[in-house]
Structure 1
Amino acid sequence: MTSAPAIGFEYRPSKGFRWALAIVAILAVLAVLLSGLAWWAKLLLSLIVLVGTRRSVRLMAQSPVSAAGWGAQDSWTVHMTSHEDVPATLASFRVLGVFVLVRLKTAGHGTHSLLLAPDNSDADIRRRLRMRLATLQTGESHARA
């Protein structure tokens, strides 16, 4: 069997996901405010939701990953914003419709979750990733059988 061609893509965090997270946070605060809790509990829970959402959005916006690539021999490389290329391994992945989420583990830079969505990646890249990840998943299920 011939090896699969390399897949490389630039990465930037999804703005659509940030907006969805903000909408969910607003709905959560609204649910807390409409609940029967005491006013101080409402205030405390609302602040916790808003601070947590702000922290999550800030962490997503400051992603240290600027690009990633999956080589023909199942080797991953992550290009950091510091212009450093770091070898990585695929920790896990999920495919949810047009979204592809990959978690890549690096030795010196920790684990990075990359969400590829319609607003931050090319449809062809996501399609190729989905196809190649599906063959990986099929190979794992055959290996377990």
Structure 2
Amino acid sequence: MTSAPAIGFEYRPSRWLGRLLLLVSLIAVLATWMSAVPWVAKLIVTVGVLLACWRTRMRFSDRWVQAAGCARDGGWNVRMRSGDDIQATLASFRVIGEKIVWLLLSLLGRRHALLLLAPDNSDADIRRRLRMRLAQIEASGTLAAERGPTV
């Protein structure tokens, strides 16, 4: 696939992830309140779960990323909400079935962009093309081991 075109897409955070996080957090809080632990411990666990849910939601929302793209040569580019274009490298990825693609892009300045592409925030054709490109990267072994494990 030497003539594979570049892949570009606009990005907005997935609503599914936020709803899933809220559901799991609610179940954890309900389980805590239905247990026989003292009420002070229940309050501490509830506050901890809510803080962890909020922190995770903010981490996965990446509201500062407007768009991303993968060039023919495998280089990545991220457009920020401020309008800046930043070169990025693919640190890791995970493909879950045919519906979900997780991308961890390393940006300049030791920042990372964690992008979740799901049916509610991306086109099926974009996800298919990305899966094909990522499978090609994985088969060629160009995703270096020193970049760390997959997401």
TM normalised by structure 2 equals: 0.87
Query: How far apart are residue 109 of structure 1 and its match?
Result: 6.2
Q: Which residue of 2 aligns with 1:74?
A: 74
Query: How far apart are residue 56 of structure 1 and its match?
Result: 2.8
Unmatched runs of 5 consecutive residues or more in structure 1: none
Root mean square deviation of aligned Cα: 2.0
CA distance 1:108–1:55, shift in 2 (3 Å) = same
TM normalised by structure 1 equals: 0.91
Q: Which residue of 1 aligns with 2:140?
A: 139
Query: How far apart are residue 54 of structure 1 and its match?
Result: 2.2
Instruction: Name whichever of 91-100 and 32-41 sits farther off.
Output: 32-41
Equivalent residue pairs, number: 143
2:38 is the counterpart of 1:47: no
Residue pairs, 1:1-145, within 5 angstroms: 2-61=2-61, 63-97=63-97, 98-108=99-109, 110-140=111-141
Give the distance between the partners of 1:62 and 1:94, measured in 2 at CA: 17
Unmatched runs of 5 consecutive residues or more in structure 2: 146-151
Query: How far apart are residue 36 of structure 1 and its match?
Result: 2.2
CA distance 1:60–1:93, shift in 2 (3 Å) = closer
Aligned residue for 2:112, secondary structure, equals strand
Contact 2:60 2:115 in 1 (8 A): no
Give the distance between the partners of 1:61 and 1:89, measured in 2 at CA: 19
Per-residue Cα deviation, 1:44-85 (whole angstroms, up to 9, x for no partner): 001110122123324444521000000001110000001000
Letter in 1 for 2:43: L
CA distance 1:61–1:134, shift in 2 (3 Å) = closer
Give the distance between the partners of 2:93 and 2:57, measured in 1 at CA: 21
Give the distance between the partners of 2:114 and 2:58, measured in 1 at CA: 15
Give the distance between the partners of 2:116 and 2:34, measured in 1 at CA: 33
Aligned residue for 1:28, secondary structure, equals helix
Aligned residue for 2:20, secondary structure, equals helix
Give the distance between the partners of 1:110 and 1:16, measured in 2 at CA: 24
CA distance 1:35–1:24, shift in 2 (3 Å) = same
Identity %: 50
Give the distance between the partners of 2:4 and 2:62, measured in 1 at CA: 32
Contact 1:3 1:73 in 2 (8 A): no
